[in-house]
Chains A and B, each alone.
Chain A
Amino acid sequence: MTLHFRSIEEAGTERIHRLLDLTEHMAAVGRRPNPKVPALRGKTVCNLFFEDSTRTRMSFDLAAKRLSADTMTLAVSSSSVNKGESLRDTVETLDSMGVDAFVVRHQTSGVPWQVAGWTPAAVINAGDGWHAHPTQALLDAYTIRQRRGIANDFSGLKVAVVGDIRHSRVARSTTDILQLLGAKVVHVAPRTLLPPTSDVATTSKFDDVVGEVDVVYMLRMQRERMGAGLVPNGGEYSRRFALDERRASALRPDALLMHPGPMNRGVEMMVDPTELPQSTILDQVTNGIAARMAVLFELLGSGGIEE
């Protein structure tokens, strides 16, 4: 059976530990004067992006190139997909060009599982609907490990994930990986932005946790949710759930402030995080390449990662 990387849950503890260790290797490769290795020479990686995501796409593309894989990219907003051609037709067409791995981003949950049914290639989930974004989770966990100088045991670590949990694949996958590594997670959101049911601790009182936790993970609040009756208006949302001056000053000095990007300044982020020593936001971007190299190498690599 082909190995995929589609969700933290599916990957399981053993693979996640291995991938975190491999991410560390890849981060070291990235610091070399020449960060390119021949590990995936002759392999073809197809980025299949049905949703706009320049950052994730570029991160995957660069990760594949650093491993010397050939890459091709199909980026289509699904509204422009010819309704006569099914998703399956698209995948089967690309597959016949000879693809070793598909990197799939889609606005609907489950598409990476459907794609895997139509191709023998490996499938990497680059974000599906509100469901999963496992490479984001991997880079987040690696960033915490790197910044705190700890190994893969996160027990004792307290993390608050703040914002639109309901519609966030990042919240789901990052919560999954943190819990898998032993951290304690609390979701901070109004009831309307939480999933219908959850076994994660929840609160709507950001102020109660902001100065307590080791990690504050801010989610992007999409502006279109504002008009959907989930919160009364952006101003009230920001007053209750944004990181403003007051809450930023309540952060513990050794806490980490994380965000998956892109930030909505003036919505969930009222301060400039680059001025806060707790911020990991740029580290996350850097580590994203290493995490994605790790995943690609795990699925397609056979030899070492020497220059």
Chain B
Amino acid sequence: MMQQHNMLFAGGTVIDETGERRADVRVREGIITEISSDLSAGDDELVDIAGCIVAPGFVDLHTHLREPGMPEAETIETGSRAAALGGYTAVVAMPNTDPTQDCVEVVEFVSKRGREVGLCDVRPSGSITIGRAGTQLTPFADLAAVGVHLFTDDGSGVQDEGLMRRALEYAGELGVVLAQHCEVASLTKGAVMHEGECCSHLGLPGWPALAEELMVHRDIELSRLTGSPVHLLHLSTARSVELVRAAKADGLRVTAEATPHHISLNDERLTSFDTRFKVNPPLRTTADIEEVKKGLLDGTIDAIATDHAPHPPVAKDRPLDEAPPGMLGLETALGVARSHLDCSWQHLLGAMSWRPAKIAGIDDQHGRPIVVGEPANLAVIDPDSQWEVDPSALASRSRNTPFIGVGLAARVRHTVYEGRIVVRDGKATA
């Protein structure tokens, strides 16, 4: 385990939930110990961050770490490193591992391995159903007792309405949140890409927007019925955003996330037949992109989540119907989001840090205001950096980024996790 650093971040601008101010930040033994303008470093290491932003570390609600089960795609170590490089101090690990995160043993393995690696806070989610098979509920209370807050069958939606209703009723009293991958499976058999003009042209089986929207609508109504919270994963369509907006206006306990790729890439990318652009839910139309962005800007969509989904070349170098869906996201999320969302830094950082921290139930450690006494989980951002992804330099074990050759704005310079510099000058320190 790396030593905690005593250091002074000097010359930056602090942005957190409470606002924005010029201030130097002193970190000692994992805690923010002093905040003021023009502090002197003294015995502490001076880190000059003139022109940079100091923000609470990011929280990803949607990370596939692939361990246990698929070490050729990613491990908790490589995924944690990618997260740290992206400015994340916490990630919610999706449950579609092998074996599934549906029991205490697997969940504890992931937590423990995350702590051993020590590059960010790895928070395993649990599946809603055993083996994500959609038939039998996982032991929510047992898993909540070992720290699981978010449950999802991500990768597929819970198809059975009756089962989903029971799951919400049962989960409600435990204070945990169920998150849904919204996809009515009978409408997406064999689907490779968004159903529309482009798929018609390319002769690829389509994934209609309706398949997402029907389940968004269903789960909003189930939340209304049960009073339990629902988190809607990776929303991709204009109508989904509209449904969530109306649900929030009704005061329902509905939260939602959107991914960087669903606000930046449209379905026409598939005309290259490049499997890096195959993702689930699929890349949608430009009109959908605009509405998802509006949803993020007006707060209908609470959080930016990566759906970081590593796949090795041997899996992606297959025909489009066989290649698994998914793309990398952790190391590029900030740059893509900043390039495509026209909003204040505070609003953007809220979508990446304190709002997802609340949804994940980890807002006692992450997304905190930057004030004396708080844990030092921080991201230092160079807002003026212009950069391009070098796939060979990615920390992730896989290379399936769709953002090769795309100019990105803003980059994470340093990441501080539990008072340790885990990323320094854009490079992982361990």
Contact = CB atoms under 8 A, between A and B. Distances in A.
Interface residues of B, number: 24
B318 A196 contact: no
Interface stretch (B191-199, B301-309, B354-362): B191-199
B393 interface: no
A195 B196 CA distance: 9
Grouping DSSP codes into helix (H, G, I), strand (E, B) and loop, the B interface class, with mixed when no group exceeds half, is loop
Nearest to A168: B203
Given A113-B272, A196-B195, A197-B197, A129 B318 contact: no
B195 A110 contact: no
Given A108-B322, A109-B204, A196 B199 contact: yes
A137 interface: no
A305 interface: no
B319 interface: yes
Given A86-B318, A108-B319, A108-B322, A114 B200 contact: no
B206 interface: yes
Contacts of A86: 313-314, 317-318
Given A110-B320, A114-B273, A114-B319, A195 B204 contact: no
Interface residues of A, number: 26
Contact of A131 (B196, B203, B313): B203
Contacts of A124: none
A228 B319 CA distance: 23
B298 to A, nearest CB: 30
Contacts of A130: 203-204
Contacts of A197: 196-197, 200
Interface in B180-201: 192, 195-197, 199-201
Interface in A96-130: 106-111, 113-114, 118, 128-130
B404 interface: no
A111 B196 contact: no
Contacts of A198: 200
Interface in A113-158: 113-114, 118, 128-132
A88 interface: yes
Given A113-B272, A113-B273, A196-B195, A87 B318 contact: yes
Best-surrounded residue of A106, A131, A132, A167 (most CB of chain B within 10 A): A131
A172 interface: yes
A169 interface: yes
Given A113-B272, A113-B273, A196-B195, A106 B319 contact: yes
Contact of B203 (A89, A113, A172): A172
Contacts of A169: 203
B203 A196 contact: no
A132 B203 contact: yes
A195 to B, nearest CB: 4
A139 to B, nearest CB: 19
A297 B128 CA distance: 59
Contacts of A129: 203-204, 321
B317 A196 contact: no
Contacts of B204: 109-110, 129-131
Contacts of B199: 195-196
B50 interface: no
B273 A110 contact: yes
Nearest to A198: B200
Interface of A: 78, 86-89, 106-111, 113-114, 118, 128-132, 167, 169, 172, 195-198
The 5 closest A-B pairs by CB, nearest first: A110-B273, A130-B203, A131-B203, A195-B200, A108-B319
Interface of B: 192, 195-197, 199-204, 206, 208, 272-275, 313-314, 317-322
Given A109-B320, A114-B273, A114-B317, 17 more contacts: A86-B317, A88-B313, A107-B319, A108-B319, A108-B322, A109-B192, A111-B319, A129-B203, A130-B203, A130-B204, A169-B203, A172-B203, A195-B200, A195-B203, A196-B208, A197-B196, A198-B200
